[in-house]
Structure 1
Amino acid sequence: MSLFDLHAIANGLPAAWNSTVLGSVGSANIKLLRMDQMPYGEEVHDYDEALLVVSGQMMLEIAGQALCVEASQMYIAEAGVPHAVLAGSHGCLVIVDL
C-alpha cells in the first residue's frame, strides 16, 4: 500500500496541466495534476473519465453549459462527450481513466 500527499505531489509537478500517473487499478489509471487558472482546450475520450477536485475548483464546459465542480466533488465525463476546462480553474485534480 502506498500513501500519497496529493498537494505536495501536485505542487512539485514541473508545470500545470501536466499529469503524473500515481498508479492503476485494473485497467484504470489514477492521475494527478495541478490546475493554474488557465483554460484547457476541449477533449473527447473513448473512455469515461472521473474528475475529482481535491482542492480549489474546476470550471467545466459540457455541451455549451458551464459547470463548477468544487473541492470534494467529482464529475464523470462520459466517453464521447466533449468537455473543456474554463479559465479560473485552480487547485489539485485527480483524474481516473475508467
Structure 2
Amino acid sequence: MSLYDLRIEAQALPQAWHSQVLGHIGDTNLKVLRMDERSIIEEIHEYDEGLLVIDGCLELRVGGKKISLTSGQLYVAKAGVPHTVEIGSFGTLVIIDLPET
C-alpha cells in the first residue's frame, strides 16, 4: 500500500486541471489534480466520475444547475451527463473514474 499526501501530490503537478493517476482499484482510476480559478469546458464521460474535494471548492454547472462543493464533499457526475467547471474553483480534487461493472 502506498501513502499519499494528496495536497502535496496536487501542488507538485506542472499544471492545474491536468490530473495524475495515483493508482487503480480494479478498473477504477484514482486521480488527483490541482484546481485553479479558471473555468473548464464542458465534459461528457462514458462512465460515472466521482469528484471529491480535498480542500478548497469546486464550482460545477450540471444541467443548467450550479453545484458548489467544499472540502470533504463528493459529487458523482453520471455517465453521459455534461458538466462544466465554473470560474472560482480552487484547491485539491480527487477524481474517481467509475467504469460500469
The TM-score bracket by the shorter chain reads over 0.9
Q: 2:46 aligns to what?
A: 46
Task: Note the alpha carbon deviations across 1:31-71, whole angstroms, 9 max, x for none.
Answer: 00000111111000010000000000000000011110111
* Off by >3 Å, runs of 4+ in structure 1: none
Q: 1:10 aligns to what?
A: 10
Residues 13-24 of structure 1: matches in 2 within 5 Å?
13-24=13-24
Aligned length, in residue pairs = 98
TM-score normalized with structure 1 length: 0.99
Provide the rounded CA distance (Å) in 1 between the counterparts of 2:45 and 2:36: 22
Give the letter aligned to residue 31 of structure 1. K
3-state SS of paired residue (1:87): coil
Task: Note the alpha carbon deviations across 1:14-47, whole angstroms, 9 max, x for none.
Answer: 0000100000000000000000111111000010
Gaps of 5+ in 2: none
* RMSD value, Cα: 0.4
3-state SS of paired residue (1:17): coil
Q: CA deviation at 1:2?
A: 0.4
Percentage of identical aligned residues: 51
Gaps of 5+ in 1: none
3-state SS of paired residue (2:72): coil
3-state SS of paired residue (1:23): strand
